[in-house]
Structure 1
Amino acid sequence: MTSALLLLQLADSAFPTGGFAHSGGLEAATQLGEIAGAQGLERTLIQSLHQAARASLPLVLAAHADPSRLAELDHLCDAFTTGAVANRASRAQGRAWLAAAAAAFGIPALGDLRRTLRASLDPGHLAPVFGAVTAHLALARADAALLFLFLHLRGMVSSAVRLGLVGPLEAQSLQARLAPTLETLRARADGLTEADLATTAPLLDLFQCHHDNLYSRLFSS
């Protein structure tokens, strides 16, 4: 499979990673009245992308560079992700991502990785697992980083549609407008390591922590 076709398959909404069950804190922020109109949504998405680029992408890139460090980076991610809701969501999505990739591509290394993770007490967080999986799939470093950011944005935009914040057409226009931001953040993160992990949008973390207290919920996080 060419890298272009691989990217298309991994980015396809039909690839069953369970990401659409999570809103990244968008549902809680909406119910708390923190998002006002399309402009407020766009501002929140930009903040969330910057957060992903500093709080997750360094772990993606480190695991991609050396998949043998997955357990070490996984526990670092666990210690860094202090919010219970975000931590739970990251674990669920990481394990689902690995399961889907192992089943879809039949690469022995991915099957071994999944068995090792299931037998261990490692949390299986999304960012380091994503990096290790894309390395085993021989996806280029830059492509892996851009794919991670794209999936983050796509998931948030999809959540916004289901929450009634924007319609499907407006959502696609918004996603297209933010495409240059993905490229910029990907390039900026290229020189980052796990030592550069940082929280850039603490309010989003606080909103997501409130998710379990919502009276009614569409999403798991």
Structure 2
Amino acid sequence: MSRTALLLLADGRFPAGGYAHSGGVEAAVAHGAVHDPDSLEVFCRGRLHTTGLTAAGLAAAAAAGHDPLLLDDAADARTSAPALRTVARRLGRQMMRAARATFPSAELERLSSARPQGAHQPIVLGLATRAAGLTPVDSACAAAYESIGGPATAAVRLLSLDPLHVSGLLARLGREADGVAEAAADAAARAMTEGVDVLPSASSPLLDITAERHAAWTVRLFAS
């Protein structure tokens, strides 16, 4: 069951709202940074090792049993752009709805009551994986994959890229994604005794800037 649960959580068809977001790639396409499979791979690799690592650490810590409210505050501190905080909580609300229906648990119910405006998505993901009987490294793996899978899928729509080439791109990044997940899970284990400050806090200032600009667009295909 745990393996099936991990596949479900990492599946783009899981109704957690991620299909409506591009992970910043729509803005990157608009200013020319992403225009073909090679530039998309560079974008995804950068996202994986920055915001992806940070999200994976938060998800792993939630799955390990760390206080989710404290982690939600830590996520706020690690998300400097207001537009991205809004997106993270919007995705958190949608994932909470899906997770409560699929993997009901008292921890999800408590977080939902404490954060009616929505908790950050990685925290909800971590509690969902915990409720599904998965491990912190499983949770980190799902978060790491999501950090590249979402933008890659969006780029197929935005640039009409060959889906086969994009799948190959994701496969090439697989070993790096595994490494990010393992590093995130190690940090989450340390956080249980050393506090949340040891969790990853990597960032991507360009993604922060373009997220704010993207939020002001009047016409866009994706919500972020």
Give the alignment's TM-score, normalised by structure 1: 0.88
Per-residue deviation, 1:29: 1.4
Secondary structure, counterpart of 2:34 in structure 1? coil
Please give the residue correspondences for 1:87-166 in structure 2 after superposition, counting only pairs within 5 Å.
Answer: 87-118=85-116, 123-164=118-159, 166=161
Contact in 1 for aligned 2:60/2:136 (Cα 8 Å):
yes
Q: Kindly indicate whether the alpha-carbon contact (under 8 Å) linking 2:141 and 2:181 is maintained by their aligned counterparts in 1.
A: yes
RMSD, matched Cα: 2.0
C-alpha contact 1:145 1:186 (8 A) present in aligned 2: yes
Equivalent in the alignment of 2:211: 208
Counterpart AA for 1:81: T
- Match 2:220 to one of 211, 217, 220: 217
The aligned residue for residue 54 of structure 1 is 53
* Structure 1 unmatched ranges of 5 or more: none
Q: 2:181 aligns with which of 147, 161, 186?
A: 186
How many positions carry a matched residue from both structures? 216
Letter in 2 for 1:189: A
What is the CA–CA distance in structure 2 between the aligned matches of 1:144 and 1:109, rounded to whole Å? 16
1:218 Cα offset (Å): 0.4
Once residues 223 and 30 of structure 2 are traced to their aligned partners in structure 1, the CA distance between those partners, rounded to angstroms, is 15
Deviation per CA, 1:136-171, whole angstroms, max 9, x where unpaired?
Answer: 222112111111111222211111111116222211
Structure 1 residues 181, 133: CA separation in 2 closer, same or farther (over 3 Å shift)?
same
Aligned sequence identity (%)? 32
TM-score, normalised via structure 2 length = 0.87
Between the aligned partners of 1:158 and 1:126, the Cα distance in structure 2 is: 19
Partners of 2:160 and 2:83 in 1: how far apart? 22
Q: In structure 2, how many angstroms separate the alpha carbons of the residues matched to 1:77 and 1:109? A: 18
Change (3 A) 1:93 1:76: same
Unaligned runs of 5+ in 2: none
Alpha carbons of structure 1 residues 201 and 33: separation in structure 2 relative to 1, 3 Å: same
| Cα deviation digits, residues 65-111 of structure 1 (max 9, x gap) | 225x1111112212321212211110011111111011123445434
3-state SS of the aligned residue for 1:97?
A: helix
CA drift at 1:180: 1.1
Tell me the distance in 1 between the aligned counterparts of 2:158 and 2:80: 26
SS across alignment from 1:190? helix
- Aligned twin of 1:195: 197
